């Protein structure tokens, strides 16, 4: 029996996490084409971290661990389950299930987190892979831009078109290691606002469009395994 818990993580984001027993792998899945090209994405190295502010940047909330992410437009659900690695970073299989009809899509690699864009088109995975849900094409941006693990989304622009990600050579417990910061710009396209967003709220694992004044977060997203 599935238990739905609504977990508030701040004025800017609310997490909707479905906890359930591990599901079986779908018998039939939608094929996903992988590409090592940049696909219209732009990655820019930053000199240092950027402080969140209510007008431009808000704290990103990638979903770590097992659970379900509801797409902002409710067109699909992303399910993280079936723990595959329990070493330095716990990783899970990711399945995208369309809300109405269609075959589910199983991501080729396990991931430690996922983050859905506000227009429900893009899903960001570890290390820096982005799935185009409309074309079912997975862009391996870590390969295209030569950015190695461990990469974690830190901030999202209020219009949902950019991400600030951090990178360190280890997952956690390495404060002596330098941290790099990058700005990822998504390919330009209209952002659909079909899903009714209550001002100042959203789902964990999903970037939502700004509809009002956002709470200013001072904390950054943790690397996998950090507390």
How confident is the model over 4-34, as pLDDT tens digits? 332 222 322 223 333 333 445 556 788 899 9
193 domain-assigned: no
191 domain-assigned: no
209 domain-assigned: no
3-state DSSP assignment of residue 32: coil
Answer yes or no: is pLDDT of 67 > 70.
yes
54 domain-assigned: yes
45 domain-assigned: yes
**Residue 191 to residues 5, 71, 124, 162: CA-CA distances in angstroms?**
28, 13, 17, 13
Domain count, the chain: 1
Rounded Cα distance between 66 and 64, Å, is 7
- Give the mean model confidence (pLDDT) for residues 167-187: 87
205 domain-assigned: no
pLDDT band at 201 (very low <50, low <70, confident <90, very high): very low
Q: Among all chains, which residue has been given the structure tokens 């960001």?
A: 124
Element (H, E) at 117: none
Q: What is the structure's pLDDT at 25?
A: 52
pLDDT band at 94 (very low <50, low <70, confident <90, very high): very high
Domain range spanning residue 180? 3-20+30-185
203 domain-assigned: no
Q: Model pTM greater than 0.95?
A: no
The number of residues making up the chain comes to: 227
195 domain-assigned: no
Q: What is the structure's pLDDT at 6?
A: 27
């Amino acid at each position: 029996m599935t238990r739905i818990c609504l977990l508030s993580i701040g004025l800017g984001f609310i997490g909707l996490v479905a906890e359930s027993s591990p599901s079986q792998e779908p018998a039939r899945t939608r094929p996903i084409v992988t590409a090592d090209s940049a696909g219209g994405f732009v990655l820019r190295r930053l000199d240092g971290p950027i402080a969140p502010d209510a007008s431009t940047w808000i704290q990103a909330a990638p979903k770590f661990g097992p659970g379900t992410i509801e797409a902002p437009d409710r067109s699909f659900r992303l399910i993280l389950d079936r723990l595959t690695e329990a070493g330095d970073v716990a990783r899970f299989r990711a399945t995208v299930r369309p809300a109405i009809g269609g075959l589910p899509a199983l991501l080729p690699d396990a991931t430690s987190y996922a983050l859905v864009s506000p227009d429900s088109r893009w899903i960001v995975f570890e290390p820096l892979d982005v799935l185009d849900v409309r074309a079912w094409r997975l862009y391996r941006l870590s390969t295209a831009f030569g950015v190695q693990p461990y990469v974690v989304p830190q901030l999202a622009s209020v219009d949902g078109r950019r991400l600030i990600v951090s990178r360190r050579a280890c997952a956690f417990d390495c404060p002596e290691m330098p941290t790099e910061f990058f700005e990822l710009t998504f390919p330009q396209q209209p952002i659909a606002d079909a899903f009714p967003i209550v001002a100042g709220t959203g789902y964990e694992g999903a970037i939502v469009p700004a509809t009002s004044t956002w709470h200013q977060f001072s904390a950054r997203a943790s690397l996998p395994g950090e507390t």
